[in-house]
Amino acid sequence: MSKKALIVIDMVRDFIEPDGKLYIGPTAEKVTQAISREIEKARSCGWPVIYLCDTHSEDDREFKMFPPHCVIGTSGVEIVDELKPQPNDKIIPKRRYSGFFQTDLDLTLRELDVDEVVLVGVCTNICNLYTAADARMLNYEVTALKDCMSSFDEGAHEFALREMEQTLGVNVV
Protein backbone atom coordinates (compact mmCIF):
# COMPACT_ATOMS: atom_id res chain seq x y z
CA MET A 1 0.00 0.00 0.00
CA SER A 2 1.37 3.34 -0.93
CA LYS A 3 1.22 6.22 1.46
CA LYS A 4 0.06 9.45 -0.09
CA ALA A 5 0.52 13.13 0.67
CA LEU A 6 -1.36 16.07 -0.78
CA ILE A 7 0.97 18.80 -2.02
CA VAL A 8 -0.60 22.24 -2.37
CA ILE A 9 1.53 24.39 -4.66
CA ASP A 10 1.74 28.19 -4.46
CA MET A 11 -1.80 28.93 -3.32
CA VAL A 12 -0.57 32.24 -1.94
CA ARG A 13 -1.99 35.75 -2.15
CA ASP A 14 0.31 37.04 -4.89
CA PHE A 15 -0.92 34.39 -7.34
CA ILE A 16 -4.52 33.87 -6.21
CA GLU A 17 -5.91 37.25 -5.16
CA PRO A 18 -6.90 39.74 -7.87
CA ASP A 19 -4.64 42.42 -6.39
CA GLY A 20 -1.72 39.99 -6.06
CA LYS A 21 1.57 40.78 -7.77
CA LEU A 22 1.30 37.88 -10.26
CA TYR A 23 -2.41 37.09 -10.30
CA ILE A 24 -3.15 33.89 -12.18
CA GLY A 25 -6.51 35.18 -13.46
CA PRO A 26 -10.17 34.41 -12.94
CA THR A 27 -9.63 30.62 -12.77
CA ALA A 28 -8.10 31.20 -9.33
CA GLU A 29 -11.42 31.15 -7.54
CA LYS A 30 -12.64 27.87 -9.03
CA VAL A 31 -9.31 26.19 -8.40
CA THR A 32 -9.27 27.41 -4.80
CA GLN A 33 -12.70 25.87 -4.17
CA ALA A 34 -11.69 22.58 -5.77
CA ILE A 35 -8.48 22.45 -3.73
CA SER A 36 -10.37 23.21 -0.54
CA ARG A 37 -12.43 20.05 -1.13
CA GLU A 38 -9.29 18.00 -1.79
CA ILE A 39 -7.67 19.26 1.41
CA GLU A 40 -10.74 18.17 3.36
CA LYS A 41 -10.63 14.75 1.69
CA ALA A 42 -6.92 14.37 2.42
CA ARG A 43 -7.43 15.27 6.07
CA SER A 44 -10.28 12.77 6.40
CA CYS A 45 -8.03 10.05 4.91
CA GLY A 46 -5.20 11.00 7.28
CA TRP A 47 -2.81 12.03 4.48
CA PRO A 48 -0.19 14.64 5.29
CA VAL A 49 -0.93 18.03 3.72
CA ILE A 50 2.15 19.89 2.57
CA TYR A 51 2.09 23.46 1.31
CA LEU A 52 4.82 24.65 -1.03
CA CYS A 53 5.13 28.42 -0.95
CA ASP A 54 7.06 30.49 -3.46
CA THR A 55 9.26 32.77 -1.34
CA HIS A 56 11.83 35.16 -2.79
CA SER A 57 14.30 37.72 -1.57
CA GLU A 58 13.83 41.23 -3.01
CA ASP A 59 16.60 40.81 -5.55
CA ASP A 60 15.90 37.23 -6.65
CA ARG A 61 17.17 36.50 -10.16
CA GLU A 62 13.74 35.10 -11.06
CA PHE A 63 12.62 38.75 -11.23
CA LYS A 64 14.59 39.15 -14.45
CA MET A 65 11.88 36.97 -16.01
CA PHE A 66 8.82 37.72 -13.89
CA PRO A 67 7.63 40.81 -12.02
CA PRO A 68 8.61 40.72 -8.34
CA HIS A 69 6.25 38.48 -6.34
CA CYS A 70 6.14 36.46 -3.12
CA VAL A 71 8.83 38.59 -1.48
CA ILE A 72 9.74 37.54 2.07
CA GLY A 73 8.00 39.68 4.65
CA THR A 74 5.12 40.75 2.38
CA SER A 75 1.54 39.49 2.58
CA GLY A 76 1.96 38.05 -0.93
CA VAL A 77 3.73 34.96 0.46
CA GLU A 78 0.79 34.07 2.73
CA ILE A 79 -1.43 31.09 1.94
CA VAL A 80 -4.94 32.30 1.02
CA ASP A 81 -7.51 32.34 3.85
CA GLU A 82 -9.75 29.72 2.18
CA LEU A 83 -6.98 27.10 2.40
CA LYS A 84 -5.58 27.91 5.81
CA PRO A 85 -3.11 25.31 7.04
CA GLN A 86 -3.72 23.43 10.27
CA PRO A 87 -1.05 23.08 12.94
CA ASN A 88 0.09 19.61 11.80
CA ASP A 89 0.51 20.61 8.16
CA LYS A 90 3.95 21.25 6.72
CA ILE A 91 4.78 24.54 5.05
CA ILE A 92 7.85 24.46 2.85
CA PRO A 93 9.20 27.61 1.22
CA LYS A 94 10.83 27.30 -2.18
CA ARG A 95 12.82 29.74 -4.31
CA ARG A 96 12.64 27.91 -7.60
CA TYR A 97 9.92 26.29 -9.72
CA SER A 98 10.49 22.79 -8.42
CA GLY A 99 9.39 22.17 -4.87
CA PHE A 100 12.26 19.69 -4.58
CA PHE A 101 15.08 22.05 -5.56
CA GLN A 102 17.16 22.74 -2.42
CA THR A 103 14.16 22.53 -0.09
CA ASP A 104 13.10 20.27 2.75
CA LEU A 105 10.45 18.49 0.64
CA ASP A 106 12.17 15.20 -0.22
CA LEU A 107 13.40 14.60 3.34
CA THR A 108 10.00 15.55 4.75
CA LEU A 109 8.26 13.03 2.47
CA ARG A 110 10.79 10.32 3.35
CA GLU A 111 10.32 10.93 7.05
CA LEU A 112 6.58 10.54 6.57
CA ASP A 113 7.12 7.33 4.53
CA VAL A 114 5.26 8.87 1.62
CA ASP A 115 5.76 7.28 -1.77
CA GLU A 116 2.93 8.89 -3.73
CA VAL A 117 2.28 12.61 -4.04
CA VAL A 118 -0.96 14.17 -5.19
CA LEU A 119 -0.35 17.59 -6.72
CA VAL A 120 -2.72 20.56 -6.76
CA GLY A 121 -2.16 24.30 -7.19
CA VAL A 122 -0.66 26.81 -9.60
CA CYS A 123 0.58 27.15 -12.08
CA THR A 124 0.30 24.03 -14.16
CA ASN A 125 3.14 24.64 -16.62
CA ILE A 126 5.65 26.13 -14.21
CA CYS A 127 5.85 25.05 -10.57
CA ASN A 128 3.49 22.12 -10.95
CA LEU A 129 5.26 20.69 -13.99
CA TYR A 130 8.78 21.04 -12.57
CA THR A 131 7.74 19.69 -9.19
CA ALA A 132 6.08 16.73 -10.92
CA ALA A 133 9.22 16.15 -12.98
CA ASP A 134 11.51 16.08 -9.95
CA ALA A 135 9.08 13.87 -8.03
CA ARG A 136 9.20 11.36 -10.87
CA MET A 137 13.01 11.58 -11.11
CA LEU A 138 13.08 10.68 -7.41
CA ASN A 139 10.80 7.67 -8.02
CA TYR A 140 7.66 9.00 -6.34
CA GLU A 141 4.33 8.02 -7.83
CA VAL A 142 2.59 11.22 -8.87
CA THR A 143 -1.05 12.09 -9.39
CA ALA A 144 -2.04 15.49 -10.81
CA LEU A 145 -5.61 16.66 -10.23
CA LYS A 146 -6.28 18.72 -13.34
CA ASP A 147 -9.37 20.51 -12.02
CA CYS A 148 -7.23 21.71 -9.13
CA MET A 149 -4.61 23.32 -11.40
CA SER A 150 -4.54 26.38 -13.62
CA SER A 151 -2.23 28.73 -15.43
CA PHE A 152 -1.99 32.24 -16.84
CA ASP A 153 -1.95 30.51 -20.21
CA GLU A 154 -4.58 27.92 -21.11
CA GLY A 155 -2.52 26.41 -23.94
CA ALA A 156 0.47 25.98 -21.64
CA HIS A 157 -1.81 24.40 -19.02
CA GLU A 158 -2.94 21.77 -21.54
CA PHE A 159 0.60 21.19 -22.79
CA ALA A 160 1.92 20.70 -19.25
CA LEU A 161 -0.78 18.15 -18.38
CA ARG A 162 0.05 16.22 -21.55
CA GLU A 163 3.75 16.37 -20.77
CA MET A 164 3.14 15.13 -17.23
CA GLU A 165 1.06 12.22 -18.50
CA GLN A 166 2.99 11.18 -21.59
CA THR A 167 6.59 11.99 -20.70
CA LEU A 168 6.69 11.81 -16.92
CA GLY A 169 4.22 9.00 -16.27
CA VAL A 170 2.08 11.11 -14.00
CA ASN A 171 -1.44 9.90 -13.34
CA VAL A 172 -3.48 12.89 -14.57
CA VAL A 173 -7.06 12.70 -13.37
10 binds Zn ion (CB under 5 A): no
Dihedral in degrees, nearest 10, Cα atoms 173, 105, 127, 58: 160
Q: Which is nearer to Zn ion, 62 or 163 (CB)?
A: 62
Q: Which region among 40-48, 50-58, 133-141, 165-173 touches Zn ion (by CB under 5 A)?
A: 50-58
**Whole-number Å distance between alpha carbons of 142 and 13:** 26
One residue of 54, 105, 119, 145 binding Zn ion per CB under 5 A: 54
Q: Which is nearer to Zn ion, 6 or 123 (CB)?
A: 123
CB of 126 to Zn ion, least distance (A): 8
CB of 61 to Zn ion, least distance (A): 10
What is the DSSP pairing of strand 49-54 with strand 171-172? unpaired
Q: Which helix (H) or strand (E) holds 32?
A: helix 27-45
Q: How far is Cα of residue 12 from the mean position of the Cα atoms in its chain?
A: 10
Q: Which is nearer to Zn ion, 132 or 172 (CB)?
A: 132
CB of 88 to Zn ion, least distance (A): 26
- In a 13 Å sphere around the CA of 109, the CA atoms on its Cβ side amount to 26
Note the residues at the interface with Zn ion (CB under 5 A).
Answer: 54
